[in-house]
Amino acid sequence: MQFMLLFSRQGKLRLQKWYVPLSDKEKKKITRELVQTVLARKPKMCSFLEWRDLKIVYKRYASLYFCCAIEDQDNELITLEIIHRYVELLDKYFGSVCELDIIFNFEKAYFILDEFLLGGEVQETSKKNVLKAIEQADLLQEKLDSLL
Amino acid sequence: MLTTIKQKACYSAALYCLTFLNKTGATLTFCKGKSKEAEIKRINKELANIRSKFKGDKALDGYSKKKYVCKLLFIFLLGHDIDFGHMEAVNLLSSNRYTEKQIGYLFISVLVNSNSELIRLINNAIKNDLASRNPTFMGLALHCIANVGSREMAEAFAGEIPKILVAGDTMDSVKQSAALCLLRLYRTSPDLVPMGDWTSRVVHLLNDQHLGVVTAATSLITTLAQKNPEEFKTSVSLAVSRLSRIVTSASTDLQDYTYYFVPAPWLSVKLLRLLQCYPPPDPAVRGRLTECLETILNKAQEPPKSKKVQHSNAKNAVLFEAISLIIHHDSEPNLLVRACNQLGQFLQHRETNLRYLALESMCTLASSEFSHEAVKTHIETVINALKTERDVSVRQRAVDLLYAMCDRSNAQQIVAEMLNYLETADYSIREEIVLKVAILAEKYAVDYTWYVDTILNLIRIAGDYVSEEVWYRVIQIVINRDDVQGYAAKTVFEALQAPACHENLVKVGGYILGEFGNLIAGDPRSSPLIQFNLLHSKFHLCSVPTRALLLSTYIKFVNLFPEIKTTIQDVLRSDSQLKNADVELQQRAVEYLRLSTIASTDILATVLEEMPPFPERESSILAKLKKKKGPGTVTDLEEIKKERSSDMNGSAEPASVNASAVSTPSPSADLLGLGAAPLTNSAPPPSSSGSLLVDVFSDSASAVAPLAPGSDDNFASPDLASSEVVSEEPADTVHDADELFHKFVCKNNGVLFENQLLQIGLKSEFRQNLGRMFIFYGNKTSTQFLNFTPTVICSDDLQPSLNLQTKPVDPTVDGGAQVQQVVNIECVSDFMEAPILNIQFRYGGTFQNLSVKLPITLNKFFQPTEMSSQDFFQRWKQLSNPKQEVQNIFKAKHPMDAEITKAKIIGFGSALLEEVDPNPANFVGAGIIHTKTTQIGCLLRLEPNLQAQMYRLTLRTSKEAVSQRLCELLSEQF
């Protein structure tokens, strides 16, 4: 996977994760272009599209679009389920996740993503294991906080 | 999940701010509904505040630092630029408090900075955390390296991470991060990741108890194996056993790694992907793999275990990856046909996603010799998709598939459907469809009147999308084929009658009537004057280049039809021409008028003679389509597959559409003015001096054609003329090539050679005694190849029999790039040896020199001949001279499968004659070898003996050497 973007129906970028080195300018350009392209698509259309020399896989959950760019040989359907598993992880962690959770706890959204995907590849698919890692960290934080 | 957004979105602005305040301890307030300027103002104020805190005299405590760094990050993610705070973030890295460290790492990962002092500090902090033996801290540090992945980090840690990865006491979660961290570094700086002892231990992670570790390791191994296949060869059998255990496990066995009743779908996909780095494994492993693939195909037929889309997606993700592997191996006809049938079911599935993927996947299946026919059976469904799919991206896939499945048998139908679709097609894909139609119409034109009609239809339906290349091409073809010229003239004349016709039609019409208007002038309805008036009625509506072309048509008319000379002269003489503001038009009018006045009939006839045929070259349309599809975006093999449908009727480049030798000193930009030549026909028809193919290239005399500029400066390879492989440097020059070479006897496309640096793919096509081979050189490294010089060498013996012409390639090949080279082939007489392809280049300071046999074999010039049983045996008897027969009895090297054998005989080039041999187990074939000098009839008979696992192969041809060679070639196949 080359990058993952989360954006709202209004086109506001909520999370961005880049697995290839790109300049900020290039990132902004890609984001603008993709947000436009994906938002213009109708609900029943297929979840894949060709874009430049990449394949875009996207899915909408409520007001949020999850959008991944994968390479020519990568598997579209499994990417669709990467998105779903990530949503499940967020959901489990936040308890019925919503866009605001991701806005205001953006750092958690990034930490969960890092446990699940690293360097653009799936690191750990077990929901239990990912959440265990995050919860352990939270526990560590609380312990330290209580020491203050 | 996320569905509660509506209720939550109703929260007041105050709550909005409060939430943020509570969660991060920040006081930044962003209120919904406020204007953009207000937001920017608010942010600038906040940034100023943070800056003053950081710069203040009072040292900030860790907590405040974390708070402000987090705020900066938040502001950055809102889309504002941040240019400070890096140092504070780096300070957080050395905190012992987990959250402070965590925010510090996040900031560093998101806002990567190239300041070298900072990088030194960051690397230091990472080093400490990696050494801490605290798995949580190690995880954070590894995530940071993987997220940043810079060269500096690779330099600092590429040696360390493999140790962490294979150390016995490393925790599983750390191993997972280390594997993917290493993968990221390898992708950015492969030269900094040293291969070593650790690689074999990494391969064994495929056996790890922990499926998460296996998942992460498989990604790493796949990437490493792509570049170092030899080193990771043992991963194949391990991957197959792992896959086998997964696909046969019950849906609950793998606990949390089962996803919606599908066991470990991510891992399965990755394993299947890893196997695609290698050719089919050896028989024992292969049997197990085939079982796995069959199980996956069987499961697709079972009723779903859940109605959830996640279940079907995960299951089908594995299925599609399995199909990719089957296509990659391209060796099991049974699996290929099953895959095709499965995809056929998906073509009508209610899920748009599945229809899309099925169309896409079938495109690659269409290029396999084994499944091409099976794909073709779905033509009606695909055409229907073109008509009914509501999503343009799905329709696009349907167009691609129709293009891929097109062959002589269905070309007329497919072209008609594409034209039909073009009338309503989305603007975004029209140009591509136009190119595809033009290519198919040319490639499969049995009847060139059909071709002319098709192209004129193209111009009528989508004139704006018909690029120059397309209409140049139709002219080239009409000029080169005299059987279609009269029809073309008549058809364009009729098409031009339409009250509104596209300018491209005026161009084609003007050009063709200027050349061949005389062929229809006998009909009073298209008399010279009527032709002229018709063209001239369009003149004023056209752009300057078209008008310039029409002026040339007029002067050609002066030669063709002396009876309307004065009418034309009047037109040329009119003020609107002679005083035209456009200098090109004015000059043409002046010169043509003068030419028509002073030149004698003889001179006119010479100057304005009919255009000579164009030399045959690669179709420029095809080149354009390739360019449109984006170069270097697909892997070599797929590239080859996609392009296998290139045409044989080469073409002239558009620039050489050069109508006449009229002297035109101005540097005119259009077609007709290019020939700044003397008043004689400067381009003699290439056919006058022998073979077309030879004539295109001036240096045809030399059998060793230097292919790249600057090739002859460095290395005088010893004894190039010998057919032996040449090697003078340590590069891997040796060739198990024979095995690969034999692979190509019965097929035309595939990978000829591959090592760590270079992959060579081939795609070729042969027709009668001519052929064309595309060689694709893929640079697998990230470093440039310099002085890249491929040379095709024919030995002295071979040289008189085989004419090879090559075009030069660029001497620099960028990392990851692919260059293509065309070899035009002419078989003059029958031959034994194969030419040698020698490649020399510099890679990172070392000189590489390797040679492989180029699979141009005598059987490529086969044309199949169908005949009845009676005919066959009659001819068989006629060839009973012992010298005409060659026989070989040999042991079967491959499983004796009748279907595969049939496919191979057809691939060999002869016709497979059914119900000819009285023994149905035998195979007989017949065909004619075409060479420039003669044609040689060949009959063959293959008798398998299943019990003994032996074959007897008999060849009878009119020439001993041919029988001998064909027998040798074919014996290696079974």
CA pair distance B115, B118, nearest whole angstrom: 5
Q: Which pair of structure tokens corresponds to residue B817?
A: 């790039």
The pLDDT of residue B734: 39
What ipTM was assigned to the predicted interfaces of this complex?
Answer: 0.95
Instruction: Name the β-bridge partners of B758.
Output: B779
Interface of A with B in 35-54 (CB under 8 A): 42, 44-50, 52-53
**Rounded CA gap, B555 and B603, in Å?**
13
Can you tell me the distance from the alpha carbon of B554 to that of B885, in angstroms, rounded to the nearest whole number?
Answer: 63
Instruction: Give the pLDDT band (50/70/90) at residue A79.
Output: very high
* pLDDT tens digit sequence for B665-682: 333 333 333 333 333 333
At A86, list the tokens.
Answer: 């990530």
Task: Give all strands (DSSP E) within B812-884, no chain letters.
Answer: 818-827, 836-843, 846-853, 862-864
Q: What are the φ/ψ torsions at residue A140 (nearest 5 degrees)? A: -60, -40
Q: Do B635 and A44 touch (CB under 8 A)?
A: no
As given in the structure block, the two tokens for residue B84 are 């400070």
Dihedral angle at the C-alpha atoms of B16, B21, B24, B29, nearest 10 degrees? 70
Which of A72, A88, A141 minimises the CB distance to B633?
A72
Compute the distance between CA of residue B370 and CA of residue B897 in angstroms, rounded to an integer. 13
Cα-trace Rg, chain A: 16
Q: Which among A48, A105, A122 has the least Cβ separation from residue B353?
A: A48
User: Which residue of A98, A123, A140 is in closest CB contact with B177?
Assistant: A123
Q: What is the DSSP letter of B609?
A: P
> CB-hemisphere CA count at 13 Å for B731?
25
pLDDT of B35 higher than 80? no
pLDDT band at B1 (very low <50, low <70, confident <90, very high): low
Nearest CA-CA distance, residue B32 and chain A, Å: 12
Report which listed range, A113-127, B187-201, B753-767, is most confident.
A113-127
For residue A4, count other CB atoms closer than 10 A to its CB.
23
Is A66:A10 a contact under the CB 8 Å cutoff? no
Q: Say which residue, B13 or B744, is predicted with more confidence.
A: B744
Radius of gyration of chain B (CA): 34
Contacts of B109 (CB under 8 A, 6+ apart): B143, B144, B147, B148
Interface touch B73/A125, C-beta < 8 Å: no
CA distance B596 to B231: 75
Beta strand A13-18 with A3-8: parallel, antiparallel or unpaired? antiparallel
Question: What is the second-level CATH architecture of the domain B736-856?
Answer: Sandwich (2.60)
Do the annotations mark residue B63 as ligand-binding? Answer: yes
Q: CA nearest B205: which of B229, B227, B180? A: B180
Three-state SS sequence of B724-775: CCCCCCCCCCCCCHHHHHHHCCCCCEEEEEECCCEEEEEEEEEECCEEEEEE
Tens digits of residue pLDDT in A36-68: 999 999 888 899 998 888 999 999 998 899 999
Looking at residue B13, its pLDDT comes to 32
Task: Quickly count: other Cβ atoms within 10 Å of residue B400's Cβ.
Answer: 21
Q: Which two tokens stand for residue B496?
A: 């031009």
User: How far is residue B561's CA from residue B850's CA, in Å, rounded to a whole number?
Assistant: 61
Name the residue facing A119 among B146, B257, B267 (closest C-beta): B146
The position carrying tokens 């993917």 is B180
Closest chain B C-alpha to A145 CA, distance in angstroms: 9
Residues in chain A: 148
Q: Is B465 annotated among the ligand-binding residues?
A: no
Quick check: B704 pLDDT over 60?
no
Q: What is the pLDDT of residue B250?
A: 78
Class of CATH domain A3-146: alpha beta
* B105-118: average pLDDT: 82
Instruction: Kindly provide the residue ranges of all beta strands, DSSP E only, lying in A9-129, ordered along the sequence.
Output: 13-18, 48-51, 54-61, 64-70, 117-118, 121-122
Domain extents for chain A?
3-146
What is the C-alpha separation between A97 and B16, in angstroms, rounded? Answer: 15
CATH fold, domain B859-972, is TATA-Binding Protein (3.30.310)
Average pLDDT over residues B43-68: 85
| Interstrand relation of B935-945 and B950-957 (parallel, antiparallel or unpaired) | antiparallel
**d(C-alpha B954, C-alpha B947), whole Å:** 19
Most confident stretch, B319-323, B557-561, B643-647, B943-947 = B319-323
pLDDT value at B354 more than 90: yes
- Residue B90: pLDDT over 60: yes
The domain segmentation of chain B, as residue ranges, is: 413-607, 736-856, 859-972
**Distance (Å, whole) CA B532 – CA B518:** 12
Q: Which of B302, B384, B310, B301 is nearest to B341 (CA)?
A: B301
Q: Is the dihedral of CA B337, B342, B348, B354 positive or negative?
A: negative
Q: Is B786 helix (H, G, I), strand (E, B) or coil?
A: strand
Which residues sit opposite B938 in a β-bridge? B927, B957
Locate the chain A residue with the closest alpha carbon to B630. Answer: A53
Question: Per the structure block, which two tokens stand in for B955?
Answer: 């060849």
Distance CA A55, CA A34 (A): 11
Contact B695, B683 (CB under 8 A): no
Interface list for A 79-138 with B (CB within 8 A): 80-82, 84-85, 87-88, 90-91, 96-100, 103-107, 110-111, 114, 118-129, 133, 136-137
Q: Residue B242: what pLDDT? A: 95
**Residues B621, B678: Cα–Cα separation, whole Å:** 31
Neighbours of B594 (CB within 10 A): 11
Burial zone of A70 (CB within 10 Å; 0-12 exposed, 13-18 middle, 19+ buried): buried
Residue B271: the pLDDT is 96
Q: Is residue B936 pLDDT above 60, yes or no? A: yes
**Chain A residues with beta carbon closer than 8 angstroms to that of B2:** 61-64, 87, 91, 97-99
Q: Distance (Å, rounded) from C-alpha B531 to C-alpha B561? A: 11
